[in-house]
């Protein structure tokens, strides 16, 4: 079972409700995370990761298992979720995958083109160059070394620029060439999966988001962001790009008002 939807749509509550009903009906069900930010061990409140009480109501997997200093990717998630799904199948348990990361669901049901492993020396070099020179300069360099890839990447997209430069340097081939290769077979056949998409009315969704952000602040989201920033991590790490980190960080640094951070 695959459940998708935007933030604050109620998809996690739906997944938990369905899992509980299945368990009561004698069909063991397990909730599996398919959200790229809820994998991190920090920012439980800000990413709306299930709390201890919710996780006690049904088994949960792949929540909060990654340090914020790690560069977690869809490829790593596929490796992790593949192991989880195999274990659940062997135990006769039904996976209920829930999240808002469309790339994760596409990779799960359509497969993912394999990208090469990049030596840490090359990754470190380009991360350092991005920190020193910025995305504009590196995007222009990418346009020289791999113009086709550069044409598909926004000049301000630091992560994708660095990734494309890493691949062209390590392999001599464009990242686009790698992505055109036959993808690995999907882990789930979409024809056999029940797919649910939660799509609330847009106006109602915006009201729910406003209430959620206010509740997050009251619950301690600012303290979470302060603790994350105190780690002094690379700002290009995925965890540092979680929605709310920059705005609340600006508030904590007295650059904007709290109302502006919440807006």
Please tell me the predicted confidence (pLDDT) of residue 27: 95
| pLDDT attached to residue 75 | 86
Q: Check residue 61 and give its pLDDT.
A: 99
Dihedral sign for Cα atoms in the order 15, 85, 101, 45: positive
At 103 the pLDDT is: 86
pLDDT confidence of residue 133: 96
pLDDT of residue 213: 96
Q: What is the pLDDT of residue 253?
A: 96
Predicted local distance difference test score (pLDDT) of residue 184: 81
Pairing verdict, β 195-197 and 29-33: unpaired
pLDDT value at residue 234: 86
DSSP for 111-167?
---------HHHHHHHHHHHHHHHHHHHHHHHHHH-HHHHTTS-TT-HHHHHHHHHH
Contact between 130 and 81 under an 8 Å Cβ cutoff? The reply is no
131 phi and psi, to 5 degrees? -65, -35
> What are phi and psi for residue 243, nearest 5 degrees?
-60, 125
Domains of the chain: 2-114+183-197 (3.40.50.300), 120-179 (1.10.20.140), 202-262 (1.10.287.890)
Q: Write the pLDDT tens digit of every residue in 19-40.
A: 999 999 999 999 999 999 999 9
> If we measure between CA atoms, which residue out of 98, 101, 104 comes closest to residue 17?
98
**pLDDT less than 50: residues of the chain:** none
Give the pLDDT of residue 119.
85
The predicted pLDDT at position 99 comes to 96
Do the Cβ atoms of 212 and 200 come closer than 8 Å? Answer: no
- Cα(47)–Cα(35) distance, rounded to whole angstroms? 9
User: In sequence order, which residues have a C-beta less than 8 Å from that of residue 131 and are 6 or more positions away?
Assistant: 234
| Nearest-angstrom CA–CA distance, 69 and 116 | 21
Residue 103 has which token pair?
């790339």
Supply the pLDDT for residue 237: 86
- Which backbone phi and psi does 63 adopt, to 5 degrees? -110, 130
Q: What is the distance between the alpha carbons of residues 119 and 171, in angstroms, rounded to a whole number?
A: 10
């Amino acid at each position: 079972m695959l459940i998708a939807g935007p933030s604050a749509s109620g998809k996690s509550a739906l997944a938990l409700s369905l899992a509980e009903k299945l368990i009561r009906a004698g069909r063991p069900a397990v909730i599996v995370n398919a959200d790229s930010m809820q994998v991190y061990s920090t920012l439980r409140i800000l990413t709306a990761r299930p709390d201890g009480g919710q996780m006690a109501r049904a088994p949960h997997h792949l929540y909060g298992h990654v340090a914020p200093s790690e560069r977690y990717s869809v490829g790593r998630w596929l490796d992790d979720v593949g192991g989880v799904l195999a274990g659940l199948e062997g135990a006769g348990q039904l996976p209920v995958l829930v999240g808002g990361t469309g790339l994760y669901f596409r990779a799960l049901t359509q497969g993912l083109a394999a990208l090469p492993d990049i030596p840490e020396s090359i990754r470190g070099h380009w991360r350092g160059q991005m920190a020193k020179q910025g995305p504009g300069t590196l995007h222009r360099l990418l346009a020289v070394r791999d113009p086709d890839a550069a044409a598909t990447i926004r000049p301000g997209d630091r992560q994708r620029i660095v990734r494309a430069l890493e691949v062209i340097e390590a392999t001599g081939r464009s990242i686009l060439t790698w992505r055109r290769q036959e993808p690995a077979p999907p882990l789930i056949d979409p024809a056999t999966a029940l797919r649910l998409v939660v799509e609330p009315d847009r106006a109602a969704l915006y009201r729910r988001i406003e209430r959620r952000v206010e509740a997050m602040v009251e619950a301690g989201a600012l303290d979470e962001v302060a603790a994350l920033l105190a780690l002094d991590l690379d700002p290009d790490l995925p965890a540092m790009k979680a929605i709310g980190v920059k705005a609340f960080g600006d508030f904590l640094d007295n650059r904007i008002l709290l109302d502006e951070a919440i807006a």
